[in-house]
Chains A and B, each alone.
Chain A
């Protein structure tokens, strides 16, 4: 029983990271209908921004967080302007967007390897507030990492804020309308260019938060973006383009992974996780909560 609860805690903590990352994929997909594979590299940059803001600039933690989130928001918007907008202007097929995104991702990752270097880094414990330092809280025989609790709370706050923003504000409504039908909403006076920038900025800011949290929990290293593939899969699982879907998909994927490796075998974990994903896509291609049937790539 103890082991079951411990594995449940392990699974939920992984799920909350997946969720924060998956939301970024889903947001962009809901508007642009393509998977922004450069998102993972933006997350990685966020971790480095946060790391250097803390260590080189010596900023207080909350400010470093803010610097990382705004840095990645700006970067994501710049990426959209430089890499995706020219394609949009030429009405290029979606495949080109995906290839461009992959290219941008490889470019960013290798730029970091070439300039900062491949060595992994960790956030110096002394620079973190006490509730974020490594170590765990014992609840009965359960060990819950302090970072995990903080991540869970921060993820919940960010996602709640995002849902409120999209449901309650005018800009949020604009995003919803554009996601529903870009042409029609443009005819109603919603500037699609603005909505796209907005979506990249929000996705980028969340990537910054996710990067810093991920870096604190594990390490900061240039190949971080490869781990975000799992969160992309979670987004597909839950239904690309749907925010609650991204959340649900993330938690489910993480729990499946944790329990398979805890009770069956670690080697079979990915086999199970991806087997369920394939089965899901065969039976319900739009994912658990996805919108209409469109090609998901």
Chain B
């Protein structure tokens, strides 16, 4: 709606310049990145890019990446999507036709990832999405696999199933309410999968309410949810909305447990919800990893030391997407997109988010889902699920 074009164009141009500086053309591997650096989801895009830059510095300091007996310097070519699907298509075209990258990391949102599939397929350059959990990212509506689209994360049907299983079986909740973002396919999709699984188990969804993204006052739909008397509320939304929803729900006297998905984790979700002991105390969400666990520790510490900030979920996901790409290039012994794609299909490695084995639909199969509980200022691992059915 708002034309932020001019300013963003300057930003993109300056980024491109930064990207070009100091790279020798002959022995460089160019890997593209696209994601939001401005706009509502900028926090995550910035965390991804910071991670990739940190990793490429590490690789280059250690002499580069060895492919077929020769060392190459890694260069990340980043573009801002503003979290917008049209902009995502534009920059994907640019990465494939102008910058001629060998592979792409990102984008992070399903709304940005789905429309770039035809571009990557035409250019025969593989992309590994970081947190795009919608099934349509890798498999088209008609059921065929997008040959050049991959991802590092698990999918929404799985995430919804884990949340529903946990609510019904572990917590013994029977009456759930759902509060979703109506104009976001991530949110509506996850809500739908939760509902299907929860009802299949024998639970009842007593209220389904929604809001439009960008809204800040949720009390009217929450008042309706309160009247339906649920014993758990599933909120498939992003952290800043979640914090506001939780606060307003508590203000309205809604005391039941709130449950969510991978849109929740963020460094400041607890602060936004009123600090330790605030509106989200004791609430739970499904995550891609245990961000406070041992597996993530080395990266968490390095990131914190370098940027003086905590790594976000997207930092870890971008890490795993990049190692998938580099691993595939090394096994393919080539910079040809077709060969890298074939190597990506045989991915079988350990990342900071768990074991990643790419299945026939280009999605990781049997990836662990981590249930995390908010306790004080901590996000504590409650339970791990590996491929529940």
Contact present for A267 and B251 (CB under 8 Å): no
With beta carbons under 8 angstroms apart, the residue of B38, B212, B268 that contacts A113 is B38
Contact present for B182 and A266 (CB under 8 Å): yes
CB proximity to B under 8 Å, residues A234-281: 257-258, 261-262, 266-267, 270
Bitwise interface map of B from 183 to 221 toward A, beta carbon under 8 Å scored 1, else 0? 000000000000000000000000001111010110111
> How far apart sit A10 and B251, CA to CA, in the bound complex (Å)?
11
> How far apart sit A73 and B30, CA to CA, in the bound complex (Å)?
50
> How far apart sit A113 and B2, CA to CA, in the bound complex (Å)?
15
The reply on B121 being an interface residue by CB < 8 A is no
Contact present for B220 and A119 (CB under 8 Å): no
Contact present for A219 and B240 (CB under 8 Å): yes
With beta carbons under 8 angstroms apart, the residue of B43, B219, B250, B272 that contacts A219 is B272
Collect the chain A residues with CB atoms within 8 Å of residue B3's CB.
106
> How far apart sit A122 and B227, CA to CA, in the bound complex (Å)?
29
Contact present for B220 and A7 (CB under 8 Å): yes
Question: Closest residue of chain B to A17, judged by CB?
Answer: B217
Among A107, A125, A266, the one with the most B-chain Cβ atoms within 10 Å of its Cβ is: A266
> How far apart sit A3 and B251, CA to CA, in the bound complex (Å)?
15
Contact present for B244 and A219 (CB under 8 Å): yes
Q: Closest CB-CB distance, B132 to chain A, in whole Å?
A: 20
Contact present for B274 and A134 (CB under 8 Å): yes
Collect the chain A residues with CB atoms within 8 Å of residue B43's CB.
118-119
Contact present for B251 and A134 (CB under 8 Å): yes
Question: Closest residue of chain A to B41, judged by CB?
Answer: A118
Collect the chain B residues with CB atoms within 8 Å of residue A165's CB.
none
Q: Closest CB-CB distance, B153 to chain A, in whole Å?
A: 22
With beta carbons under 8 angstroms apart, the residue of A113, A118, A266, A270 that contacts B221 is A266
Bitwise interface map of A from 109 to 151 toward B, beta carbon under 8 Å scored 1, else 0? 1100100011110101100000000111010000101000000
Question: Closest residue of chain A to B209, judged by CB?
Answer: A266
Given A134-B274, A227-B214; A119-B268 close (CB under 8 Å): yes
The reply on A223 being an interface residue by CB < 8 A is yes
Bitwise interface map of A from 1 to 25 toward B, beta carbon under 8 Å scored 1, else 0? 0010011001101100000000000
Question: Closest residue of chain A to B212, judged by CB?
Answer: A270
Question: Closest residue of chain A to B253, judged by CB?
Answer: A143
Collect the chain A residues with CB atoms within 8 Å of residue B247's CB.
134
Contact present for B244 and A3 (CB under 8 Å): no
Collect the chain B residues with CB atoms within 8 Å of residue A11's CB.
220
Collect the chain A residues with CB atoms within 8 Å of residue B227's CB.
3
Question: Closest residue of chain A to B224, judged by CB?
Answer: A262
The reply on A29 being an interface residue by CB < 8 A is no
Interface size class of B (residues with CB under 8 A): 35 or more
The reply on B40 being an interface residue by CB < 8 A is yes
Among A7, A143, A262, A270, the one with the most B-chain Cβ atoms within 10 Å of its Cβ is: A143
The reply on A221 being an interface residue by CB < 8 A is yes
> How far apart sit A135 and B42, CA to CA, in the bound complex (Å)?
30
Collect the chain A residues with CB atoms within 8 Å of residue B182's CB.
266-267
Q: Closest CB-CB distance, A266 to chain B, in whole Å?
A: 5
> How far apart sit A71 and B40, CA to CA, in the bound complex (Å)?
26
CB proximity to A under 8 Å, residues B210-249: 210-212, 214, 216-217, 219-221, 223-224, 227, 240, 243-244, 247
Given A134-B251, A223-B40; A266-B210 close (CB under 8 Å): yes
Q: Closest CB-CB distance, B119 to chain A, in whole Å?
A: 27
Collect the chain A residues with CB atoms within 8 Å of residue B279's CB.
134
With beta carbons under 8 angstroms apart, the residue of B42, B212, B251 that contacts A118 is B42
> How far apart sit A223 and B38, CA to CA, in the bound complex (Å)?
11
Question: Closest residue of chain A to B222, judged by CB?
Answer: A10
The reply on B25 being an interface residue by CB < 8 A is no
Contact present for B251 and A113 (CB under 8 Å): no
> How far apart sit A226 and B219, CA to CA, in the bound complex (Å)?
19
Question: Closest residue of chain B to A4, judged by CB?
Answer: B223
Collect the chain B residues with CB atoms within 8 Å of residue A113's CB.
38, 42
Question: Closest residue of chain A to B2, judged by CB?
Answer: A106
Collect the chain A residues with CB atoms within 8 Å of residue B271's CB.
122
The reply on A194 being an interface residue by CB < 8 A is no
> How far apart sit A4 and B173, CA to CA, in the bound complex (Å)?
28
The reply on A96 being an interface residue by CB < 8 A is no
Q: A3-B227, A110-B7, A266-B212 are in contact. List 6 more A-B contacts (CB 8 A).
A: A122-B271, A134-B247, A143-B251, A143-B253, A221-B240, A262-B220
List residues of A whose CB falls within 8 A of some B CB: 3, 6-7, 10-11, 13-14, 106-107, 109-110, 113, 117-120, 122, 124-125, 134-136, 138, 143, 145, 218-219, 221, 223, 226-227, 257-258, 261-262, 266-267, 270
List residues of B whose CB falls within 8 A of some A CB: 1-4, 7, 38-40, 42-43, 182, 209-212, 214, 216-217, 219-221, 223-224, 227, 240, 243-244, 247, 250-253, 268, 271-272, 274-275, 279
| 30 A-B pairs whose Cβ atoms sit less than 8 Å apart in the complex | A3-B227, A7-B220, A7-B223, A10-B220, A106-B2, A106-B3, A106-B7, A118-B40, A119-B43, A120-B272, A122-B271, A122-B272, A125-B274, A134-B274, A134-B279, A135-B251, A136-B252, A138-B253, A218-B216, A218-B244, A219-B243, A219-B244, A223-B214, A226-B2, A227-B216, A257-B220, A262-B220, A262-B221, A262-B224, A266-B209
